[in-house]
Amino acid sequence: MPQGFSIGPIEVRFYGIILMLGALAGAWLATREARRRGHNPEIVWDLLTYLLIGGIIGARLWHVLTPPPSSGITAGWYFTHPLDALAIWKGGLGIPGAVIGGLIAMYFYTRRHKLNFAEWTDIAAPSLGWVRRSGAGEILSTRNCMARPQTSRGSCTSILNTGCLVTRMWNIITPCSFTNRSGTLGICS
């Protein structure tokens, strides 16, 4: 399965397009909520740049500090190979870190512009759903968490796995449990 295309020397990855479309859809939703609350919706578009930068930095830090066991890499490895910790193009982003990094960026943005942090987190919160859904599309496009049915029927225990939305959606449709490619229940490889 192709992972993207090239425009001259620039590699464009499908997962990058999917994630950016999710971020734009989330920002559009936040502009509607900002307008409904009587705020200038242009603030959302200005804030989006900071949220993306904070989110990417936070997502990478999360991966560096808590790499998945299936990668065979430990946080200590990144400390001894710091340039690899910066190699974001090699993969490795963590959604919890993206949310934390985005919140930190939003805190500093709202503080600098004298906006109410709590109100702006309320405005942005529904947008996280759009961004998260685009992350599920990214997982599907990179085949990062492809599920296969187990032989036994049971509860949908992988529904607790926050990293595999595609699996969770399938579990809603079917009554059986699933494992991922590595054979473990509810852990993305």
Looking at 1-15, 113-127, 153-167, which range is the least confident one? 153-167
Q: What average pLDDT score do residues 66-83 get?
A: 86
pLDDT at residue number 136: 52
**SS in 3 state form for the chain?**
CCCEEEECCEEEEHHHHHHHHHHHHHHHHHHHHHHHCCCCCHHHHHHHHHHHHHHHHHHHHHHHHCCCHHHCCCHHHHHHCHHHHHCHHHCCCCHHHHHHHHHHHHHHHHHHCCCCHHHHHHHHHHHHHHHHHHHHHHHHHCCCCCCEEEEEECCCHHHHCCCCHHHHHHHHHCCEEEECCCCCCCCCC
Q: What average pLDDT score do residues 132-161 get?
A: 45
Q: 25-60 burial by CB neighbour count: b if 16+ within 10 A, else e?
A: bbbebbbebbeeeebebebbeebbebbbebbbbbbb
pLDDT at residue number 45: 97
- Highest mean pLDDT among 4-13, 86-95, 97-106, 135-144 belongs to 97-106
Q: Tell me how crowded residue 161 is: count the other CB atoms within 10 A of its CB.
A: 19
- Residue 80 vs residue 167, higher pLDDT: 80
Q: What is d(CA 71, CA 167) in angstroms, rounded to the nearest whole number?
A: 20
Does 189 have pLDDT greater than 60? no
Does 73 have pLDDT greater than 70? yes
The pLDDT mean for the chain works out to: 75
Q: 177, 128, 174: which is closest to 152 by C-alpha?
A: 177
Q: pLDDT band for 35, please (50, 70, 90 cuts).
A: very high
pLDDT at residue number 134: 57
Bridge partner list, 149: 178
> For 36-66, what is each residue's pLDDT tens digit?
999 999 999 999 999 999 999 999 999 999 9
- Highest mean pLDDT among 82-86, 121-125, 146-150, 171-175 belongs to 121-125
Q: Is the separation of the CB atoms in 146 and 171 below 8 Å?
A: no
pLDDT at residue number 11: 85
Task: Kindly report whether the global pTM for this prediction surpasses the value 0.85.
Answer: no
pLDDT at residue number 168: 46
